[in-house]
Amino acid sequence: MTSEPIQDSQDLSEAEHAKSFERSVARSREIDAELAVNPGKFRMLTGDRPTGDLHIGHFFGSLVNRVRLQDLGVNTVILIADYQVITDRDGVGPIKQRVYSLVADYLSAGIDPARTVIFTHSAIPALNQLMLPFLSLITEAELRRNPTVKAELEDSDRPMSGLLLTYPVHQAADILFCKANLVPVGKDQLPHLEVCRVIARRFDERYGRADPKQPVFPPAEALLSEAPLILGTDGAKMSKSKGNVIELQMTADQTAAAIKKAVTDSDRHITYDPVNRPQVSNLLSIAGLCLDRDPADLAEQVGDGGAKDLKALVTEAINERLRGHRERRTELAGDPEYLQSVLADGNARATEIAEATLNEVRQAMQMSY
């Protein structure tokens, strides 16, 4: 028995990656509308790399949305992508501490471990085994054309590792092991979702069941975040190494000190003008998200109060909004055994799901003995 080689018509070109953005935005909006009507249709998989502690950008950009979808009734799976930490850096850092810090933030934000599976992919052998057949379905040239992998390679001072080149395939295993059809992501992750869909389709074409209406894997679609991008306190991208981050685990006083240092500008009258006044507008956006208010209205309210009043407003808004989260976090930090039990339970449930999927894969490939 022979099967077709990978066809040009389905080749993953750079143009294909770029073209898909507009389509993804439109489709993401459709899905958002569908979610409210029929949440049970979706299984959502999202994940974080445990490379540091979560900050308010993560909170408003993804955590709040995950909790919203979980509470709508979407079947929710959250991955802590620990293997992915070693894609572009040497060593793992204080990884265990970071993994439990993520679990603590998920629970504090309202993720309910009874309804949502929280797991680390390194703990799930059957998930990782999917990588092997998946690697047979994509060419080296396609992997090298992935714009996000290219950008990560450029940002790093290391040569391309085998893992960096192939991690989008590993990410496909993260998504497909549980047959997720919904993946909330930022724009940079769209090429990886494209890879995931191509792998799912090719799997069924090459190894799959006779009935094309019963594919082993569903296509995974992106849910793009519509939350405004939050910048650091200096107006640059939020990153721990720049010291411009408001972490979820900071105390109220640490938050006040960080906002006090925030960069503003020389115009005393406060206005919301993201293009010409990025730093001031960023602070207004943060306050707006915390208070669920329009940043332009907040600007008017501060008016001639200047940077001093603006900073007082932002500090109080953040501390109020995160008060409950931080209290729960402190409580959880005092109960490491509970955090461990949540992850152990999530890993056991993920293992069950992954083994069931791997069995189907083996059957489709006639390798079930």
Residues in contact with 188: Cβ distance below 8 Å, sequence separation at least 6, in sequence order: 148, 151
Closest to ligand TRP by CB, 111 vs 317, is 111
Q: What's the closest the beta carbon of residue 87 comes to ligand TRP, in angstroms?
A: 9
Helix (H) or strand (E) holding 224, with range, is strand 221-224
- For residue 237, the 8-state DSSP code is B
Could you tell me the sign of the dihedral formed by the alpha carbons of 182, 134, 203, 18, in that order?
positive
Closest to ligand TRP by CB, 184 vs 235, is 184
- Residue 353's identity, in one-letter code, is I
* Spatial separation of the C-alpha atoms in residues 199 and 152, rounded to whole Å: 22
Residue 136, token pair as written in the block: 């047979």
* Spatial separation of the C-alpha atoms in residues 166 and 128, rounded to whole Å: 13
Closest to ligand TRP by CB, 85 vs 284, is 85
- Residue 27's identity, in one-letter code, is R
* Spatial separation of the C-alpha atoms in residues 77 and 112, rounded to whole Å: 11
Q: What's the closest the beta carbon of residue 128 comes to ligand TRP, in angstroms?
A: 12
Binding site for ligand TRP (CB under 6 A): 45-47, 49, 79, 81, 84, 171, 174-175, 183, 185, 189
Closest to ligand TRP by CB, 137 vs 290, is 137
Q: What's the closest the beta carbon of residue 252 comes to ligand TRP, in angstroms?
A: 29
Q: What's the closest the beta carbon of residue 129 comes to ligand TRP, in angstroms?
A: 16
**What dihedral do alpha carbons 162, 168, 173, 175 form, nearest 10°?**
160
Q: What's the closest the beta carbon of residue 152 comes to ligand TRP, in angstroms?
A: 9
Closest to ligand TRP by CB, 79 vs 314, is 79
Q: What's the closest the beta carbon of residue 148 comes to ligand TRP, in angstroms?
A: 8
Q: What's the closest the beta carbon of residue 81 comes to ligand TRP, in angstroms?
A: 4
Question: Coil, strand, or helix at residue 282?
Answer: helix
Q: What's the closest the beta carbon of residue 171 comes to ligand TRP, in angstroms?
A: 4
Q: What angle do CA 146, 182, 200 make, to 5 degrees?
A: 55
Cβ atoms < 10 Å from Cβ of 178: 23
Closest to ligand TRP by CB, 88 vs 142, is 88
Q: What's the closest the beta carbon of residue 209 comes to ligand TRP, in angstroms?
A: 25
* Spatial separation of the C-alpha atoms in residues 231 and 225, rounded to whole Å: 15
* Spatial separation of the C-alpha atoms in residues 201 and 301, rounded to whole Å: 54
Residues in contact with 28: Cβ distance below 8 Å, sequence separation at least 6, in sequence order: 221, 222, 223, 224
Closest to ligand TRP by CB, 47 vs 235, is 47
Q: What's the closest the beta carbon of residue 133 comes to ligand TRP, in angstroms?
A: 18
Closest to ligand TRP by CB, 82 vs 247, is 82
**β-bridge pairing 182-185 and 117-120:** unpaired
* Spatial separation of the C-alpha atoms in residues 203 and 197, rounded to whole Å: 10
Closest to ligand TRP by CB, 105 vs 174, is 174
* Spatial separation of the C-alpha atoms in residues 33 and 28, rounded to whole Å: 9
Q: What angle do CA 105, 37, 59 make, to 5 degrees?
A: 20
Closest to ligand TRP by CB, 50 vs 288, is 50
